[in-house]
Amino acid sequence: MSIVVTGGAGFIGSCMVRTLNDCGMDDIIIVDNIATTEKWKNLKNKKFREYIHKDRFLEKLSGGGYNGISSIIHLGACSSTTEKNFDYLWCNNVQYSQQLWNYCTENQITFLYASSAATYGSGMQGFDDEKEISLLEPLNGYGYSKQFFDLWAEKQRDHPYHYAGFKFFNVYGPNEYFKGSMASMVFHGYQQIIKEGVIRLFQSENRSYRDGEQLRDFVYVKDVCDVIMFFLDQCVKNGLFNVGTGRAQSFRGLAEAVFKALHRETCIEYIPMPEQLQQKYQYYTQANIEKLRKAGYEKEFYDLTTGVEDYVRGYLCNEYATY
C-alpha cells in the first residue's frame, strides 16, 4: 500500500519521508513542484517509489492512475505568510486540498494535512484547538486560506476513513534550507553569525513586549514528524490538533541558544520591524496541546536549547546536511 506525501521535497515533507523510511516504509509517492529550485537535494538520501509534479498528480489521481493508496499526508502548500496573490493561495491551499479530501473520502483512506497556527491570527481568541474555529481571525491571506479549508472540512457530512489537520506552530530544523525568507530564525541567525558574528532581531512595536521578548512556540521538525507518524499509525480521533511544545519562548532565547550551540558569546542587534509587518505581527503564540495529549500522544518534545543544538551542530555546521 502506497503513502502519498505532498510537498515531499520541501521542509517538513522531506523530513516526513525520512521518518517513514526510518520506520521501514519506502512505497512512497512524492508530490511536489521542484522546478528549477534546489529542493531536489532534500530527496538525495530518501527511498521512494515515484516523484510527480503536483499538477500531473491530480490528473493521474482523478483519472484512476493510482491503485492501492492507503494514506495521503498533505504537506504541500504555499506557505508564505507574505504572499499577496490570493488567487494563487486559493488554488494551492484550498482547492487542491479539497480535491485530495474528496479522493480520500471516496476511497475511504486516511487524510492527514497541514493547517497552521497562522489561523489563530493575533491570538485574541487564544490558541486552543478545542474552541470554535469560526471565531478565529487570521492576519494574512495565507492564514485565511488555511482557515477556510479547516472550516470547509468541518462542514463536510462525508469524510475520509481517518483525518486530522495539524496546526503547526513555529517549526525549525534541517531541510529548510530552500525556504528563503520563510526559513526559521535559527537558520537565518546561524548564517548571520557565520558571516558577521551577530544575530539581528526585530525591535518590538508593542509596549507590552521588550525588544527580543516577542514570544513564539518553537517546535523542532523531528517532533512534528513524530506526531504525524503517531496519527498515521494509530488512526486516533479525527479533527484539528495543535502541534507545538506548549511553551512560549522569546526570540532572544532562541538567538542565545544558537550562540550557545556554536560556543560563542551572544551578540544581538535590534533592527526596525518592516512597516508591512507591523499590523500583522504575532507577538505571542503558545500551543495548547491538551487535545493532542488526550489523543494519546505521550512523547516529550525537544526543549529549545536541545533542539537548536541538534540542528546547528548536526546539520548546519555539517555543510547543511540533509535529514
Among 4, 74, 14, 15, smallest CA distance to 221 is for 15
Contacts of 196 (CB under 8 A, 6+ apart): none
Choosing from 96, 103, 142, 323, the catalytic residue is 142
Whole-angstrom CA distances from 28 to 74, 98, 135, 139, 298 are 13, 21, 37, 35, 27
Dihedral sign for Cα 13, 18, 20, 26, please: positive
Partners of 162 in the beta sheet? 110
Choosing from 60, 179, 237, 291, the catalytic residue is 179
Among 61, 67, 162, 173, smallest CA distance to 108 is for 162
| Residue spans of beta strands (DSSP E) within 145-295 | 162-168, 170-172, 199-202, 215-216, 218-220, 239-243, 249-250, 268-271
Contact 244, 289 (CB under 8 A): yes
Distance CA(238)–CA(226), nearest Å, equals 17
- In the residue annotation, 297 being an active-site residue is answered as no
- In the residue annotation, 179 being an active-site residue is answered as yes
Distance CA(78)–CA(80), nearest Å, equals 6
Element spanning 110, H or E: strand 110-114
Provide the annotated active-site residues.
Answer: 142, 179
